[in-house]
A and B are shown apart, each in its own frame.
Chain A
Amino acid sequence: MEKVIHFTLNDEPVSCRVDVRKSLLEMLRTDFGLTGTKEGCGVGECGACTVGVDKETVDSCIYLAVWVDGKVVTTIEGVTNPDGTLSDVQDAFVKAGAVQCGFCIPGMVVSSEQFLEDNPDPSREEIRRALSGNMCRCTGYQKIVDAVEIAAEGRKVK
């Protein structure tokens, strides 16, 4: 069974015909070739597949593709500046040395971007809570929290 859906993907209006059995993660990766969004656990426990839907983060592995009909979707590809350079949050991750294997990072960045939009002046505790749905097996999280702090500071200066 397929359904035709219309939604906004990284600022671009798109329409597609999608198998109703697909998760949003599968649709993004296979139908749109947006492979920045990763599959870790597949059951909503790791956050590697985090994307923004209508300005809220969700785990795209346990979110049906058809559910984005009429909604606004942001993936890691939409976070990067249009000219291909890193966004301030991505840049802060690099500066802080917050990236090791990198597998969790697209999800971390999408969560951080949405969080900073909602809360431009966060405490470390608030950052930790905001990223509590994203697991990282490498870094121990400290430098990831540092990175979000750096990004928040940078935005205040601007």
Chain B
Amino acid sequence: MYDITGYNEAKSLQDVFDLIKEDPKARLIAGGTDVLVKSRERKEGFVDAPLIGITRIPDLQDIYLDDDETLVIGSMNSFTDVETNPLVKEHAPLLSEAVALVGGPQTRNAGTIGGNVCNGATSADSAPTLFAYNAVLEIHSPNGVKNVPIAEFYKGAGWVDLEPGDILVKIKIAKADYEGYQGHYTKFAQRHALDIANLSCACLLKVENDVIEDLRVCFGVAAPTPIRMAKAEAYAKGKAISEETMAEIGKLCLEDTNTRNSWRASKEYRDHLVQILPGRNIMAAIGEA
């Protein structure tokens, strides 16, 4: 048994707002692959409170292209849904590849992309890619709707820009942020499945005649939150793809990351990976690795 005090299935966003008003201690639960594990571990905030299920709310389900061809992903799509969705595969293939590396099939069938983001883990497999695509999060609350760029949403380790009563409804990627980009994601972990990254790195780029027009690099587990590499990205613009360019990108990444020691990997090892993964990803993205 989980040590929870109740469970309610929300059928609409209004249901969520009403239930939270009734009991501000209530916690939202999506696929349960994180919340129930934390509840089992008796983490504070995950026991002794009621849960509100949100996976059956219709507004959170669709994946579609908006009028201006923004790719819109409902927050309650499972990793499997996102991985296999034809629109995601066509317009944001890197996201499809990244979520295919989450846990194992069972976790991907139950876990949701919205849950992954709202957890605030720096190791979330969807996060570096969503950062690279400049994803915008549409968050609803009783007071209205706000659109938050994902980089501003992550505040610290396990801490995101959500107040009680807020609910992530849509994840949006604008056409200008996916069109013409190619990319590669590396989840660097001990095992190929059922593991959490030692370090992860997503690269998206636009290339014209072997010259980098635009580069976006985001790391997971290289800082308390996923983090974009401003210096390396600025440097790379207009540079020809070469070993030197890749080496310099790696070096600059080290200036923007803030890795640490953990039982999964040492700081030295992570810093080594920070320098080599972007180059490898860029070569893989352009099909030369």
Residues of A bordering B, CB below 8 Å: 1, 3, 19-23, 26, 42-45, 47, 50, 56-59, 62-64, 66-67, 69, 111, 129-130, 132-135
Which 5 residue pairs spanning A and B have beta carbons closest together? A133-B104, A132-B193, A20-B7, A56-B109, A21-B1
Number of A-B contacts (CB under 8 A): 87
Decide if A64 touches B32 in the complex (CB within 8 Å): yes
Q: How far is the CB of A111 from chain B (nearest CB, A)?
A: 7
> Given the complex, which residues of B lie within 8 Å of A58, measured CB to CB?
106, 109-110
Q: In the complex, what residues of B have CB within 8 A of residue A21's CB?
A: 1-4, 7
Report if B238 contacts A (CB, 8 A).
no
Closest B residue by C-beta to A51: B106
Cβ B4 vs Cβ A62 within 8 A:
no
Selected contact of B192 from candidates A22, A43, A132, CB within 8 Å: A132
Distance, CA A145 to CA B36, complexed state (A): 31
Q: What are 23 A-to-B residue pairs whose CB atoms are below 8 Å? A: A3-B7, A20-B6, A21-B3, A21-B7, A23-B1, A43-B37, A43-B41, A44-B103, A47-B104, A58-B110, A62-B33, A62-B37, A62-B40, A62-B110, A63-B110, A64-B29, A64-B36, A66-B53, A129-B105, A130-B105, A132-B194, A133-B104, A133-B194
Contact among A50, A56, A67, A135 for B194, CB-based, below 8 A: A135
Which residues in window 57-83 of B have CB below 8 A to A? 80
In the bound complex, CA of A134 to CA of B1 (Å): 23
Contacts of A62 in B (CB 8 A): 32-33, 36-37, 40, 110
A-B contact sample (20 more), CB < 8 A, given A57-B106, A132-B105:
A1-B7, A21-B7, A22-B2, A23-B1, A44-B36, A47-B106, A56-B80, A57-B105, A57-B109, A59-B106, A62-B37, A62-B40, A62-B110, A63-B110, A64-B2, A64-B29, A66-B9, A66-B53, A69-B9, A133-B193
